[in-house]
Amino acid sequence: MDDTRDLIERARRVGEEARRAEARSQQLVRTSREIQNWTARVQGRLAGEAGSQFSFHHQSNRLLSLLPSAEFERLLPSFQGVTFTPKEVLHRSNAPIDYIYFPISGLLSAAITMDNGSTIEVAPIGSEGASAALTAVGPYISPYDVVVQISGHGLRIGVHAFQEELRRGGLLQHVMAGYQTACISLSSTQIACNGLHSASKRCCRRLLGTQDRIASDELPLTHELLAHTLGVRRVTVTEELGGLQKRGIIGIRPGRIKILDRPRLESLACECYRADNAVLARLFLTNRYDGARPPLTA
């Protein structure tokens, strides 16, 4: 009799576990379909508005990925898909801002231009960020030029719609506040780096940062573009890159720089590269939405 009861109880437990497993499987299928449908809606809308097809999913821009998919979908009607072309000027220094840009691919550069035409980069902007971060919650005037360095795609939202969303006090406001704090820290490091570190170390840092942002060993960068970015003469960049090539760390061909030995390149970069990564890691860890509370600022 006891054996019979044990068998019945065991069969009951097995049956319950089978039902739970089936329910979990059905939930996974539903979730997968929801993700596929959401992604299809987003890609269809944004790629169509950009006038070309490009790959997009919720993680494409890391700032927007901090928002739950339902929250982003609510914001979706305010966004447009855009294509970035090299040397395209998105914001001009001391001019009104019309749109906030969230890169998906490619690379933007925020830079200061002097009266004599010389420039120096304030910050690179890739899929980890957005343009006009330091003015997004303040005036509509850009303090610097934002220019496309490497072609790609992105999303843009009108500055007034963006401000309206921030005034709602929702999750986007928390995410952007964290990003603004991170940008201030990154800009402070940039100032110190420009004044204290050699062109050689800064060049290595910039190559690594570019590779991180475009996720490719081959960087579509010219000597002239790097010179403008670093605020040095073109001949200085040519000398530095030539030295790296002789040591087998990079390869160079017209308009392209290929990273061949990343560990050695990292060893030659200044400490600011690691500092930048620490700031960004803190931003995305402390602002991850867990469904229970708004994100914290960095």
Q: What is the pLDDT of residue 47?
A: 47
pLDDT tens digits for range 48-96: 444 445 556 667 899 999 998 888 888 888 999 999 999 999 999 989 8
Residue 137 has pLDDT above 90, yes or no: no
Beta carbons within 8 Å of 138's beta carbon, 6+ residues apart:
none
Which DSSP category does 221 fall into?
A: -
What does the domain layout of the chain look like in residue ranges?
A: 199-269
> Whole-prediction pTM value?
0.77
- Among 12-21, 171-180, 219-228, 271-280, name the one with the lowest average pLDDT: 12-21
- Among 86-95, 159-168, 205-214, 262-271, name the one with the lowest average pLDDT: 159-168
What span, in angstroms and rounded, lies between the C-alpha atoms of 194 and 197? 6
Q: 199-269: what fold? A: Arc Repressor Mutant, subunit A (1.10.10)
Q: What is the pLDDT of residue 216?
A: 92
Beta carbons within 8 Å of 26's beta carbon, 6+ residues apart:
none
Q: What is the pLDDT of residue 259?
A: 97
The mean pLDDT of the chain is 83
Extract the tokens encoding 172: 């986007």
Residue 295 has pLDDT above 50, yes or no: no
Whether residue 91 contacts residue 130, with contact meaning beta carbons closer than 8 Å, is answered with no
What span, in angstroms and rounded, lies between the C-alpha atoms of 138 and 160? 11
Residue 276 has pLDDT above 60, yes or no: yes
Residue 29: pLDDT band (50, 70, 90) is very low
pLDDT tens digits for range 51-60: 445 556 667 8
pLDDT tens digits for range 183-205: 999 999 999 999 999 999 999 99
Query: What residue type is 66 in one-letter code?
Result: L
User: Where would I find the H helices in 199-268?
Assistant: 199-214, 223-230, 234-246, 262-268
